[in-house]
């Protein structure tokens, strides 16, 4: 089992506050790795450190065999890392079609035509501006944008946030489909139960430290732990 991404002993700060205190994790190639944890545990910071957006002060990051620890963000992404940021970060003044023309054209199976086949809704709305889309459509657009750089590794930060249960199911179905395409996936979620249903491996982050690492199923079986992780709203949902 080769790793798409490994992080060893990451320490990240916002100003003086010490957010990540030695985070180590690995994303195995072709598998879905879930990174769970309560609000403020450091999940988003972990992803931002991996992407070079908030660089870690200490530690080492390896992506597809390259030491990317000191690389600028665009170079990390250009290696084949698709990033779906927290809050989706759609370009609100740009049309859907223009949003899809921003990513680097790395070459590969994903083209705008293929994206429109996967997300027919985006084609219908291609001339609408980003800000005119619903939350679910924005999430689709954010995922579509990340797919267009033809990623080998897809990093998603809370894709289910603020979406209706039906739309969340759709998003998770697409994540599974991406795994079937051979893309390695690192998924950060509040929605612990549903994430563990599709994940192969799992990590739990608490106060900037990894407190669980292992199989997703083993974690899912630990009812008390899952309950303590799940956000109140998400507790009852299942993938069904």
Partner 1 sequence: MTLLLLFNITNGLIVGAFYVLMALGLSLILNLSNVINFAHGGFLVIGGYIAYAISPYVGFWGALLLAPPLTAVIGLVVERVLIRPLYGRDPLYSLLLTFGLAFMIEDLTRFIFGPQGKPFAIPAFLAQPLSNELFFITGYRLFMVAMVFVAIALLFVLLRYTRLGIRIRAGTLDLETVAALGINVRLLRSLNFAVGIFLAGLSGVLAAGQLGLEPTMGTGLLMPSFIAIIVGGIGSLPGTLVGGLLIGVASGVTAVFFPAASEAVIYVLMAVILLTRPRGLFGEEGMMG
Q: Compare residues 78 and 221 and give the one whose CB is closer to partner 1.
A: 78
Kindly state whether residue 106 participates in binding partner 1, applying the rule CB under 8 A: yes
Is position 103 an interface residue for partner 1 (rule: CB under 8 A)?
yes
Residue whose CB is less far from partner 1, 70 or 101? 101
> Taking CB under 8 A as the rule, does residue 57 contact partner 1?
no
Nearer to partner 1, 53 or 239 (CB): 53
Residue 133 DSSP one-character state: S
177 binds partner 1 (CB under 8 A): no
Cβ atoms of 110 and 150 within 8 Å: the answer is: yes
Judged by CB under 8 A, the residue of 22, 104, 127, 177 near partner 1 is 104
Q: Does 127 bind partner 1 (CB under 8 A)?
A: no
Q: By CB under 8 A, name the one of 10, 34, 36, 77 that touches partner 1.
A: 77
Residue 55 touches partner 1, criterion: CB under 8 A: no
Nearest approach in angstroms of CB 239 to partner 1 is 28
Q: What is the DSSP letter of 95?
A: B
Q: Is 23 in the site for partner 1 (CB under 8 A)?
A: no
Is 146 a binding residue for partner 1 by CB under 8 A? The answer is yes
Spatial distance between the Cα atoms of 83 and 220, rounded to a whole number of angstroms:
26
Q: What separation in angstroms does the CA of 14 have from each of 11, 46, 89?
A: 10, 12, 21
Residues 46 and 20: beta-carbon distance below 8 Å: yes
98 belongs to the binding site for partner 1 (CB under 8 A): yes
Would you count residue 145 as binding partner 1 (CB under 8 A)?
A: yes
Q: How many residues bind partner 1 (CB under 8 A)?
A: 25
Q: What is the rounded distance in angstroms from the CA atom of residue 223 to the CA atom of residue 229?
A: 10
Q: How far apart are the C-alpha atoms of 46 and 54, rounded to whole Å?
A: 9
Q: Which helix (H) or strand (E) holds 187?
A: strand 184-189
Judged by CB under 8 A, the residue of 94, 118, 226, 239 near partner 1 is: 94
Q: How far apart are CA 49 and CA 69, in angstroms?
A: 9
Of the candidate residues 37, 55, 59, 85, the single one contacting partner 1 (CB under 8 A): 85
Q: Strand 184-189's sheet: what is its strand order?
A: 81-84, 153-157, 184-189, 32-36, 201-206, 209-215
Cα–Cα distances in angstroms (integers) from residue 219 to residues 39, 40, 161, 201, 222, in the given order: 19, 21, 22, 9, 5
Tell me which residues touch partner 1 (CB under 8 A).
Answer: 51, 53, 72-75, 77-78, 83, 85, 89, 91-94, 98-99, 101-104, 106, 145-146, 149
């Amino acid at each position: 089992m080769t790793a798409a991404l490994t992080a060893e002993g990451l320490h990240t700060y916002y100003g003086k506050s010490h957010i990540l205190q030695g985070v180590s994790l690995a994303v195995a190639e072709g598998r879905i790795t879930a990174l769970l944890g309560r609000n403020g545990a450091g999940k988003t910071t972990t992803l931002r450190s991996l992407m070079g957006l908030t660089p870690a002060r200490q530690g080492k990051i390896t992506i597809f065999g390259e030491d990317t620890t000191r690389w600028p963000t665009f170079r990390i992404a250009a290696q084949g890392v698709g990033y779906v940021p927290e809050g989706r970060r759609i370009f609100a003044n740009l049309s859907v079609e223009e949003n899809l023309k921003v990513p680097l054209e790395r070459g590969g199976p994903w083209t705008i035509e293929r994206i429109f086949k996967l997300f027919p809704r985006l084609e219908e709305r291609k001339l609408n501006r980003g800000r005119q889309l619903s939350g679910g459509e924005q999430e689709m657009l954010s995922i579509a944008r990340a797919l267009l750089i033809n990623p080998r590794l897809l990093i998603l930060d809370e894709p289910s946030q603020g979406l209706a249960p039906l739309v969340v199911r759709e998003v998770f179905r697409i994540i599974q489909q991406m795994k079937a395409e051979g893309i390695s996936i690192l998924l950060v979620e509040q929605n612990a139960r549903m994430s563990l249903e599709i994940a192969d491996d799992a990590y739990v982050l608490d106060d900037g430290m990894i407190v669980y690492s292992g199989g997703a199923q083993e974690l899912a079986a630990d009812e008390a732990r899952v309950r303590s992780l799940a956000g109140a709203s998400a507790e009852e949902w299942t993938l069904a």
